[in-house]
A and B are shown apart, each in its own frame.
Chain A
Amino acid sequence: MPQDHPDGTVPMQLTGADKKVPTDWQDQFRGVYLQPEWTAKEGTDKNLFANIANQAFAAVLDLSYTVPIGKILYVNSISFAINGNLAADAEKNNIGRLYLYDVTNDKSIAVVGGNGGGQLPLLKPIAFSATTEIKLRLYNMAGHNTDLFSCLEGYEI
């Protein structure tokens, strides 16, 4: 009978062929988690956020991060919010466009746009290898000054 880890996990290695895995289910609770949810439980999740106020048309908000040596960053989603800086602009079109760049390899990876905000959920996470510099860049595409917010969620293992 396998010994459980203190955190309740059971180590298994399955490689292609069918195998029988002995497990003691008696008096124990088991659950199945999606990887992003599990990473929050084990503390490897990464939540990156940036904000800046009162930016003119075509101004950008940059969020930079370099994946540490020995790690891989998996991105689950990118999102942004944008609102008029003045009350008079609150109900106008507040349009933004958010890019995820791989700076090291000079590639645009993903983009999402929207009026007031937007989100790009990634069911298949985007992986960035160690030492890769990434940049989340949000453009203010509204014709007036806005407040900008961007967010990247993922995990790093």
Chain B
Amino acid sequence: MEGLKKLKAGDFNNMNQSPQPDGSVIITLSKRGENKSYRFRVHDLYGPDEKVLEHEVIGGNTNG
């Protein structure tokens, strides 16, 4: 998934992590100059069973 690839490559300026009751984390990434954000939910972030459960690209980037 593109969002997870950007996270692992550090290809972003702003990240928000919102832990969920099921142990997964909703992550939103944005980068200055790009008019979109990547929002995805991942299970076992950085762990051996890491898996992207949901992924979407959101238009608009309020971070400049």
A-B contact count (CB 8 A): 45
Contact with A along B1-44 (1 / 0, CB 8 A): 00000001110111111110000010000011100000000000
Contact with B along A32-65 (1 / 0, CB 8 A): 0000000000010111111110000000011111
Select A65's contact among B13, B15, B32, B33, beta carbons within 8 Å.
B15
B64 to chain A, nearest CB (A): 9
Chain A residue numbers with a CB within 8 Å of B31 are 43
Helix, strand, loop or mixed for chain A's interface? strand
Select A47's contact among B9, B14, B45, beta carbons within 8 Å.
B14
Select A49's contact among B9, B10, B16, B19, beta carbons within 8 Å.
B16
List 20 A-B pairs, Cβ < 8 Å: A46-B10, A46-B12, A46-B13, A47-B13, A48-B15, A49-B15, A49-B16, A49-B17, A50-B16, A51-B16, A51-B18, A61-B19, A62-B17, A63-B17, A64-B46, A67-B10, A68-B8, A68-B9, A71-B10, A156-B10
